[in-house]
Amino acid sequence: MTEELNFLPSLTGSFAKPAAENPTVEMVEAAYRHHGLHWRYINTEVGPENLGAAVAGARAMNWAGFNCSLPNKVEVIQYIDGLGESAEVIGAVNCVVRRGDKLIGENTDGKGFLKSLEKVVDPAGKRVVMFGAGGAARAIGVEVALAGATHIKIVNRSKDRGLELVALLNDKTPAEVIFEKWDGDYSVANGVDVVINATSIGLYPDIDARLALNLDSLSADMVVADVIPNPPRTNFVKDAEARGCKVLDGLGMLVNQGITGIEYWTGVTVDGGVMRTRLEELFGA
């Protein structure tokens, strides 16, 4: 019997590190090793000018799929054969999956966040405040709204991006979504259940950065979630913990989007614990 070796490369234009230090590669390969899966996940740097050729190559070599990161998440859509439901609504793809002879684009960022959130609270019927209106916020907003959050407030620095996300969510999901421009320290209203940082504030190397937020407005009955994976213990995470909130760090989202991607490609549900441990080693958590 021959063993099949499947390559699951990440088509990315943004990683500058060699593969051995790439956190996603390390995380996915840790799961493969742990489960004895004869699969490989490699990182390749592909800019927009070569994206079409790279996807054609993946297709020609029968790759089971690949991830793509900025700036390829939207551009890749023109080279694949279809989109999963939430990727269609979000308008961006971070995970491509070969199904039969077709390459289908999925978005696992929001799904990863949702899986992580659902471990501490069911978003159905909840009131959510989310900082940010970029790609991560878009993916999270769509999944949280489709999971039944009834009220979502988008708080963003730039008005145009904020209003665009609000319009998308009101148009494509049943949630009632409003916008507030982020000007000075934001106070979270009583009755809010979930507070999410979906901005890049706090990401390495700007680890001292803080959200413009009135910390006294956070209360112990709120769930607070940060998307920043590196470092996992951001100032937002620490400040929310100090106020007694239930806190989710960005590693949960990263690990869970990895689990979903591996499920799509291999059909195997892997242990998130080994993936988280590898990331903690890398990020010194």
- Name the residues that contact ligand NDP, by CB under 6 A: 109, 112, 132-137, 156-158, 161, 199-201, 203, 227-229, 250, 253-254, 257
- 16 by Cβ neighbours in 10 Å (0-12 / 13-18 / 19+) ranks as exposed
284: left (phi over 0), alpha (psi -120 to 50) or beta: left
Query: How far is residue 119's CA from residue 204's CA, in Å, rounded to a whole number?
Result: 26
Catalytic hit among 73, 111, 115, 153: 73
What is the nearest approach in angstroms of ligand NDP to the Cβ of residue 108? 9
Q: Which is nearer to ligand NDP, 75 or 81 (CB)?
A: 75
- Supply the minimum distance, in Å, between the C-beta of residue 32 and ligand NDP: 19
Label residues 143-162 b or e (16+ Cβ within 10 Å = b). bbbbbebebbbbbbeeeebb
Cβ 60 to ligand NDP, closest distance in Å?
29
Please, what is the minimum distance in Å from the beta carbon of residue 183 to ligand NDP? 10
73 is known as an active-site residue: yes
Query: What is the rounded CA–CA span in Å between residue 134 and residue 115?
Result: 20
Chain residue whose CB lies nearest ligand NDP: 134
**Least CB distance from residue 230 to ligand NDP, whole Å?**
7
Tell me how far apart the alpha carbons of residues 146 and 127 are, in angstroms, rounded to a whole number. Answer: 13
Nearer to ligand NDP, 184 or 267 (CB): 184
- Closest to ligand NDP by CB, 83 vs 227, is 227
96-108 CB burial, b ≥16 within 10 A, e <16: bbbeeeebbbbbb
Interatomic CA distance for residues 106 and 95, integer angstroms:
5
Closer by beta carbon to ligand NDP, 228 or else 259: 228
Nearer to ligand NDP, 35 or 161 (CB): 161
Residues designated as active site: 73
